[in-house]
Amino acid sequence: MAHDVFISYCTEDKPIADAVCATLEAQGTRCWIAPRDILPGTDWGESIVDAIHDSKAMLLVFSSKANASQQIKREVERAVHRGIPLIPIRLDDALPSKSLEYFISTPHWLDALTPPLEQHLQRVAEAVKALLQRLAGNLGGEAKAGAAASGAAASGSRANEPPRPQAQAAPQFCIHCGARRVADNRFCTGCGKPMPA
């Protein structure tokens, strides 16, 4: 199943993760969540890794229970390693363990500390949709520029013409973590990765 978002959560937070998943999917965001999307008979760990690699973003349901989960640490590390943007949703006041803090201290958090949870779900869905649209816009712009360049190279009649300047503005958000771009910065202030020109 093609999906946009991998939802990472600990077993104790499954009802909340399911509510987040249902809200996102009701608004058209395709989610991958275990165990629902693990094909029976397949290797659990391999399925998780494949799903993370195929995701455009990871949504972490963070709580004190998730903070203690070795599985959460592995999933978050795989997403960060692949450059997949991370959206943490904080359910309680737990401070991240040092191993999780290393990975999740830079992205902007969404707080869902105060009940009822439903009042926060809409904001989460809007944030995820906005991030996915930004990512699609940046990737779409790069694909169009690449197609135009290859089309010009393939055309013999225009091969000697100088390249035409593109009227494409620099992305306003980091394609890796979604942080807002700071004018004239070559590197993202959120994740430290190079910003495209």
Asked whether residue 144 is assigned to any structural domain, the reply reads: no
Asked whether residue 148 is assigned to any structural domain, the reply reads: no
Q: Compute the average pLDDT of residues 9-14.
A: 94
Quote the pTM value: 0.62
pLDDT tens by residue, 119-170: 767 777 777 787 778 878 765 544 444 444 444 434 444 444 444 444 444 4
Asked whether residue 81 is assigned to any structural domain, the reply reads: yes
Q: Where are the beta strands (DSSP E) in the chain?
A: 5-8, 31-32, 57-62, 86-90, 110-111
Name residues whose C-beta falls within 8 Å of residue 125's C-beta, 6 or more positions apart in sequence.
Answer: 23, 24, 26, 27, 29
Identify the CATH number of the domain in which residue 120 sits: 3.40.50.10140
Contact between residue 17 and residue 124 where contact means Cβ atoms under 8 Å apart:
no
Q: What φ, ψ does residue 75 adopt, rounded to 5°?
A: -65, -45
Amino acid code (one letter) for 88: P
